[in-house]
Structure 1
Amino acid sequence: MAILGPRQVGKTTLAMELLATDGATQYLDLESPADAAKLADPLSYLDSRRDRLVVIDEVQRAPDLFPVLRGVIDQRRRQGQRAGQFLLLGSATGALLAQSAESLAGRIAYMELQALTINEVPTDDAQHLWLRGGFPESLLARNDAASLRWRQQFISTYLERDIPQLGPRIPAETLRRLWTMLAHEQGQLLNASKLATSLAISGQTVTRYIDLLCDLMLVRRLLPWADNGGKRLVRSPKVYVRDSGLVHALLGLGELDDVVSHPVVGGSWEGWVIENLLAVLPQGAQAFFYRSAAGAELDLVLELPRRQRWAIEVKRSAAPTLSRGFHQAAEDIGATARYVVYSGSDAFPLSADIEAVPLADLQQRLIDVGKSPTSTPRKAARR
């Protein structure tokens, strides 16, 4: 199995919990020269520990290891040895999946460990979760200032150390400026030409840099729903910085009052809601947004098991109202359920077929969909 997620999200902590429950384990951190040296002759090392679960952290640093793992797994299968003897931890999906997909096809399962979501914190911590984001050390910092410092250091570490170690030669300051621009444009349609002009680089370079941030699970492209051949639809994706705390840190917003008085407040809350919902999507479900040239729009369209199609609008207001564009968009896509996620604490009907629901409520409904016999949850629960 491979557990994927950005740095500091809790992958190693989860692995250590597994180690604590089973003494027959071996942990290797490939950022440690001593541990990396142990895999200088990987066949011999792994053969000498064939009776243990071997946990390999930051595995994307050793691309040559994947073909070796394939040979070891196939040999053990032929000998009738049980599966599940390797747990790989990685913080880069694009490179890691490309390497493992080629070498370990049919031999590996993936789980994405995302930042903490609203169903994993006490109810009264929801505002802190939105402000500080879901990285545990940021959320649990002693105060808002300490949390902001942690996130700013996290950003600098990625730019100055982690990304260069993955190979791409990207000026750290250029990537920081792009990341900050994406935070300013949270939830807006991607305009690569506009970003390229501001950064004095090409549109292709902007796309490549965004690809990298997506591979590192720091940015999300949300694609447009495009099943309606009779409508003129927007074709550009929306782009979100995935963690709300990083949005605020990139913009220098350290306290809740700073966020609610900033123009990004709506986009920040929308992105936070969307990430919380996508974190619990059932296996095989798909997520899109919808926007037509005529102005019909939905913040989120979820294609779920059993031909369910949810139309979702995100409103930070405690008294949400809907435009005609929502109703038209829901009709356009043939929605089977229509929801408005709002900032209140109780679910109530807005009309005969539209319900206003708190985020935690709708997230739980998605979890329940994932528990059905026809689908499997995408994300394992964490304590």
Structure 2
Amino acid sequence: MITRDAQIDIAQLLEEFSAVALLGPRQVGKTTLAETIATVINPDPLYLDLESPTDQAKLREPEAYFELHKGQLIILDEIQRVPELFAILRGVIDRRRRQGHRAGQFLILGSASLDVLKQASESLAGRIAYKELSGLTATEILASQTGDQNRLWLRGGFPDSFLANSDPASLRWRLNFISTYLERDVPQFGPRIPATTLRLLWTMLAHNQGAQINLAQLGASLGITIPTTKRYIDLLEDLLLIRHLRPWSGNVGKRLVKTPKVYIRDSGITHALLNLTDMDDLLGHPVVGASWEGFVVENLLSCLPVGVTPWFYRTSAGAEIDLVIERNRQQTYAIEIKRSLAPTLSKGFYLGCEDIGATRRFVVYPGTERYPIANAVTAISLAEMMQELRLIQ
């Protein structure tokens, strides 16, 4: 079993908050992690799957049910299916607080984004903490010795995909995952969306991994309007399947780009959409560089402390930094991402570092050795860069 880096954080939050929400896409390992944590901190946890009619029936009188199981950690899976529970949880938590029970009451799992859940959970302000669970990361698989970094990059971070018996078996799992999302999960989040259109959009995003998306061009290719295109992309983001990386927007007297980059968050899903089965397929495909960049970005962002903001930097004159990590305008990390084992940096990166006043400069590459490059830049492995970012204060 692979130990998840988030396990310690979630256990600590349960000691401090009455409820903790663990968010992540379906099949990313939320339930397994929740049950692992629950058995450690509570000898008799209770698990309810809110997509199960049987478990939903148990909550016809939720307050009475929760009272019956007072003292147990209750895990509520797929909470976005029953958003009205949030208002009831507030009353239950407040009553228990008055009785001296303040922490570790509910562990809530959801496969929709924080913004979606916040609309329903505002009444729990001060009573709930949030933690997002990404797919398996480079540091997790290296620590558990279950595979190498290239295998994680090819197959992505969904545990069933990563741990499949072969690359073709992994690809079949991901293709089925994509179909299930399009046919079952997407219709739960609003008006009917044609599965073929959304799949085509998803595939187009895979071909343009990490690019600044032109909504008008995408819409024209799909035969839909710009507002509809934006709604479809927002839906994929709400389902935690894609990520918008915003451009840095400080006052440097330069003409900065304003359009965000869009990444498919799981590299394995990117490769499945492009029908890339093994490393030979991937290394021979034009998406290889952008795919590596997206893989590194997602791994790095998975380990950022709360309150740390990620950006990218680009000017119309050509200055560019793949990833800017900023903490209270006091620490600024400039991170370039290169697939080469002998990375070289463009003039645009150095200009960008001067523009933003970068205090730390790195290039993340596929090797394992850490060594200095010109102009105070350090070449560093992905796993070591992740450890650096975890130390940000």
Q: Counterpart of 2:214?
A: 191
Q: Counterpart of 1:261?
A: 284
2:275 pairs with 1:252: yes
Q: Counterpart of 2:120?
A: 99
Cα separation, 2, equivalents of 1:300 and 1:80: 45
2:82 pairs with 1:62: yes
CA contact (8 A) 1:5 1:114 kept: yes
TM-score, scaled to structure 2: 0.91
Residue 203 of structure 2: which of 174, 180, 204 is its match?
180
Q: Secondary structure at the match of 1:119?
A: helix
**119-128 or 6-15, which deviates more:** 119-128
Cα separation, 2, equivalents of 1:258 and 1:24: 48
Q: How is 1:150-189 mapped onto 2 (pairs within 5 angstroms)?
A: 150-189=173-212
Cα separation, 1, equivalents of 2:51 and 2:330: 45
The residue type paired with residue 125 of structure 1 is D
Q: Secondary structure at the match of 1:8?
A: coil
Q: Counterpart of 1:13?
A: 32
2:260 pairs with 1:237: yes
Q: Counterpart of 2:378?
A: 355
Q: Secondary structure at the match of 1:235?
A: coil
Cα separation, 1, equivalents of 2:294 and 2:246: 14
CA contact (8 A) 2:252 2:355 kept: no
Residue 24 of structure 1: which of 44, 47, 63 is its match?
44
Offset at residue 360 of structure 1 (A) = 1.2
2:334 pairs with 1:311: yes
Q: How is 1:203-352 mapped onto 2 (pairs within 5 angstroms)?
A: 203-304=226-327, 307-352=330-375
Offset at residue 306 of structure 1 (A) = 7.7
Structure 1: tracts of 5 or more residues without a match: 370-374, 376-383
Cα separation, 2, equivalents of 1:349 and 1:298: 18
Q: Secondary structure at the match of 1:37?
A: helix
The residue type paired with residue 333 of structure 2 is W
Q: How is 1:41-190 mapped onto 2 (pairs within 5 angstroms)?
A: 41-93=61-113, 94-100=115-121, 102-122=122-142, 125-190=148-213
Cα separation, 2, equivalents of 1:114 and 1:320: 28
Offset at residue 331 of structure 1 (A) = 0.5
Cα separation, 2, equivalents of 1:18 and 1:357: 33
CA contact (8 A) 2:23 2:133 kept: yes
Calculate the aligned-residue CA RMSD, in Å. 1.3
Question: Relative to 1, partners in 2 of residues 1:276 and 1:104: Cα closer, same or farther, differing over 3 Å?
Answer: same
Offset at residue 4 of structure 1 (A) = 0.4
CA contact (8 A) 1:132 1:147 kept: yes
Per-residue Cα deviation, 1:311-353 (whole angstroms, up to 9, x for no partner): 1111101111111111111101110011111122101111141
Q: Counterpart of 1:372?
A: none
CA contact (8 A) 2:331 2:359 kept: yes
The residue type paired with residue 132 of structure 2 is E
Per-residue Cα deviation, 1:143-181 (whole angstroms, up to 9, x for no partner): 000000000001111110011123342111111111111
**117-126 or 231-240, which deviates more:** 117-126
CA contact (8 A) 2:174 2:272 kept: yes
Cα separation, 2, equivalents of 1:297 and 1:356: 17
The residue type paired with residue 389 of structure 2 is L
Offset at residue 272 of structure 1 (A) = 0.3
Question: Relative to 1, partners in 2 of residues 1:9 and 1:194: Cα closer, same or farther, differing over 3 Å?
Answer: same
- Number of matched pairs: 369
Offset at residue 80 of structure 1 (A) = 2.1
TM-score, scaled to structure 1: 0.94
Cα separation, 1, equivalents of 2:95 and 2:190: 32
